[in-house]
Amino acid sequence: MPMWPAPTSPASTRAHQAHSAHAGAPAQAVASAPGTWSIAGEHADHFGGIVVMGISELRAAAAVSPRNDGTIKVRFIEHTHEGEKQTDDSITLDELQERFIQQQPQIDEQGRTVVPPAPEGSLASRIGGVIWTMINRQLLSRETAGADVTIICDVPIEAGMGAFAAADVAVALAMLPEDSELDHPLRARLAEVCTQAVDTFSSLPALRARHTAALRAEEGYVSIIDYSDNSVTKAAAPISGMLRAFVLFPANTEAPAQSTHIRGRNNFIDAASHAFGAESLRLLPDAPERVIDWLN
């Protein structure tokens, strides 16, 4: 059974080194974020429930530098048991704007809401979407005209450890202006931005608890995320001291396609919440009975 290799140097160091080869210029900023693992409640994330998440020692790191041609160029270097795997992709800010417009709900001739098709976003669409959303949520200057992004990911893909969510957060942190005060409100806002970007631009639905945990969890603790009030409480990690956790997953095997099912479920929850004027179904009194009556 192949064992996942432990990194011999920090992901941030390797991202900084790899960026010059990718962009032809030194990185302007580098940041990293941990992988995440779900303990309980991930099915209640979109419902507005309570999710318990832990963070991993394995991280994804992003190095960034500015461009002036309106393009987001991404190099994703994945650390695997067979060695490094590199993926290059790019997208323009104008194309991201068009994709955002395509994802907005429309109204048909009968006044019914038409749910847009699921996004078919690539890697650059997802990472570029994080940057585009930061610009439009006023976390980045409107004068931002593109970026070169180099990502080093030590978190195993398809292992349920939030590799891409860690990459989202690392990019968002690296793109922040130098004078940003990374306090709890900003961390919460960044988590929201990352989730919104992924839901809009990525073919993979977001589990927002991963973004929240990657930004707000503390090492040595698990995070109890309550989406009724967006609070995050820390608790002692179940894996500490002499205890160790191991992740087993099939290597070189694609995970079953779940995106369509997850988006369908989330769309139903959104429609039911909208029908009752509730921010989330968890805040709706007698939600199970009332939603079933509404569905019938």
Q: For 259-293, what is each residue's pLDDT tens digit? A: 778 888 888 888 888 888 888 888 888 888 998 99
**What per-residue confidence (pLDDT) applies to 110?**
73
Average pLDDT over residues 189-208: 91
pLDDT at 89 over 90: yes
> Which amino acid is it at 280?
S
pLDDT at 198 over 80: yes
pLDDT at 114 over 80: no
pLDDT at 250 over 80: no
**What per-residue confidence (pLDDT) applies to 212?**
93
> Which amino acid is it at 236?
A
Report the half-sphere exposure of 51 (CA within 13 A, side-chain side). 25
Q: CA end-to-end span of the chain, whole Å? A: 50
Question: CA 148, CA 261: separation in Å to the nearest integer?
Answer: 34
Average pLDDT over residues 180-193: 91
Question: CA 251, CA 229: separation in Å to the nearest integer?
Answer: 39
Any idea which of 47-61, 250-264, 272-286 has the lowest mean pLDDT? 250-264
Q: What is the pTM of this model?
A: 0.88
pLDDT at 31 over 70: yes
Closest CA to 252 of 88, 82, 122, 86: 82
Any idea which of 64-78, 118-132, 219-233 has the lowest mean pLDDT? 219-233
**pLDDT tens digits, 155-169:** 988 888 899 999 999
Q: What are the angstrom distances between the C-alpha of 248 and each of 51, 83, 177, 251?
A: 22, 19, 39, 9
Q: To the nearest whole number, what is the mean pLDDT of the chain?
A: 87
Query: What is the C-alpha radius of gyration for the chain, rounded to an integer number of angstroms?
Result: 20
pLDDT at 96 over 70: yes
Question: CA 59, CA 32: separation in Å to the nearest integer?
Answer: 6
Fold classification of 11-247 (topology level)? Ribosomal Protein S5; domain 2 (3.30.230)
Q: For the chain, which residues make up each domain, given as ranges?
A: 11-247, 257-296
**What per-residue confidence (pLDDT) applies to 255?**
60
pLDDT at 256 over 70: no
Sign, Cα dihedral of 102, 107, 110, 115: positive
pLDDT band at 234 (very low <50, low <70, confident <90, very high): confident
Instruction: DSSP letter for 219, please.
Output: T
102: left (phi over 0), alpha (psi -120 to 50) or beta: alpha
> Which amino acid is it at 65?
S
Q: Name 243's Cβ contacts closer than 8 Å, sequence gap at least 6.
A: none
Percent of the chain with pLDDT over 70: 96
pLDDT at 35 over 90: yes
Who has greater pLDDT, 242 or 216?
216
Residues facing residue 72 across a β-bridge: 91, 147
pLDDT at 81 over 80: no
pLDDT band at 254 (very low <50, low <70, confident <90, very high): low
**What per-residue confidence (pLDDT) applies to 77?**
93
Question: CA 14, CA 149: separation in Å to the nearest integer?
Answer: 13
User: 3-class DSSP state for residue 149?
Assistant: strand
Tokens 């968890």, residue? 282
Pairing relationship of beta strands 71-80 and 146-153 according to DSSP bridges: parallel
pLDDT band at 84 (very low <50, low <70, confident <90, very high): confident
Closest CA to 34 of 241, 246, 222, 217: 217
Question: CA 237, CA 70: separation in Å to the nearest integer?
Answer: 44
Average pLDDT over residues 173-195: 91
Tokens 């450890």, residue? 161
